[in-house]
Amino acid sequence: MLETKNITVTYNNTIEALKEISLEVPPGNIYGIIGPNGAGKSTLIKAMLDLLPHSGYTLYNDKPIKTQRKNLSYVEQKSNIDTTFPMKVIDCVILGIFPTLNPLQRPGKHAKQKAEEALKKVNMYDYRNRQISDLSGGQFQRILIARTIIQDADLVFLDEPFVGIDITSENIIIKLLKEMARQGRTILIVHHDLSKVNKYFDGLILLNKSLIAYGATSDVFTGEHIKRAFGSEILVSSEQGGADNDSAIRE
């Protein structure tokens, strides 16, 4: 069980980005972290992972998350990663294995094999000797997922993995993440597009600085909750996108 208690984050002692967030995520589930721009979604992930100053704490199986580094994988927002760095695809994937090695170990033949298997899973094996700078956004995101796969972590955090990528990559990635969840892992995905919420997530964490609701998607994804989180912004996006079955919000 992943358990967060009373997380509050105040940037520069002035901007209160998150206020007293407490929640639990049971294993074997994919949870979406949902909320408007600036709601504190990325901040929540970073605070849960102890990557920025905060009050409150996060436990995984009753142990502080700090002590679980080898057992967690974090894919940060793509826009924050330098993809022009000269590196071959296969080497980028092999890097994923480093957190699981002891300090004196170097990745060997076995690591390469695992990386190749992971590349096959994301349909990128044929690209293994290309430079990462030559990949499209969706292909690069698939490489990051391959890296997560070989890390073999029980806890997986992804920040906006589907932004700016093609639908083929998105489908491959969500299928693999669902598979990982079915193996008993805990997957948290920051996501701001409401149209696929029902399809993608077993549960939701809905926030806008404070926690609006969390739990099973069917309980959280209601008109009233969404209105409380998004306010008038939701009216704009539904006018633009129109309603279909995927985006049907329960009243």
- Interface residues with Mg ion (CB under 5 A)? 41-42
User: 11 or 85: whose CB is closer to ligand ADP?
Assistant: 11
What, of Mg ion, ligand ADP, none, does residue 176 touch, CB below 5 to 8 Å by kind?
A: none
The answer to whether 188 and 33 are in contact (CB under 8 A) is: yes
Applying CB under 6 A, among 41, 78, 185, 191 the residue interacting with ligand ADP is 41
* 208 near ligand ADP (CB under 6 A): no
Please enumerate in sequence order all residues whose Cβ is within 8 A of that of 89, keeping only pairs 6 or more positions apart, or say none.
119, 124, 127, 128, 129, 130, 131, 132, 135, 143
Alpha helices in 19-166 (DSSP H): 41-48, 89-94, 109-121, 137-151
User: 41 or 147: whose CB is closer to Mg ion?
Assistant: 41
Applying CB under 6 A, among 21, 31, 40, 135 the residue interacting with ligand ADP is 40
**For ligand ADP, which stretch binds (CB under 6 A), given 32-40, 62-70, 123-131, 169-177?**
32-40
What, of Mg ion, ligand ADP, none, does residue 185 touch, CB below 5 to 8 Å by kind?
A: none
Residue type, 170: E
* 12 near ligand ADP (CB under 6 A): yes
What, of ligand ADP, Mg ion, none, does residue 35 touch, CB below 5 to 8 Å by kind?
A: ligand ADP
CB of 212 to ligand ADP, least distance (A): 13
Applying CB under 6 A, among 39, 156, 194, 220 the residue interacting with ligand ADP is 39
Please give the structure tokens belonging to residue 76. 């940060």
Please give the structure tokens belonging to residue 119. 């590349």
Taking the C-alpha atoms of residue 127 and residue 153, their distance in angstroms, rounded to an integer, is 25
Of 115-134, which residues contact ligand ADP (CB under 6 A)?
Answer: none
The answer to whether 148 and 175 are in contact (CB under 8 A) is: no
Q: Which residues pair with 15 in a beta bridge?
A: 11
Please give the structure tokens belonging to residue 30. 């994919």
What, of Mg ion, ligand ADP, none, does residue 11 touch, CB below 5 to 8 Å by kind?
A: ligand ADP
Taking the C-alpha atoms of residue 22 and residue 11, their distance in angstroms, rounded to an integer, is 19
Of 43-72, which residues contact ligand ADP (CB under 6 A)?
Answer: 43
User: 77 or 198: whose CB is closer to ligand ADP?
Assistant: 77
Please give the structure tokens belonging to residue 86. 């000269």
The answer to whether 172 and 199 are in contact (CB under 8 A) is: no
CA dihedral 206, 163, 66, 22 (to 10 degrees): 0
Applying CB under 6 A, among 29, 42, 139, 169 the residue interacting with ligand ADP is 42
End-to-end CA distance of the chain: 30
User: 16 or 134: whose CB is closer to ligand ADP?
Assistant: 16
The answer to whether 172 and 143 are in contact (CB under 8 A) is: no
CB of 21 to ligand ADP, least distance (A): 12
Chain residues binding ligand ADP by CB under 6 A are 11-12, 15, 17, 35, 37-43
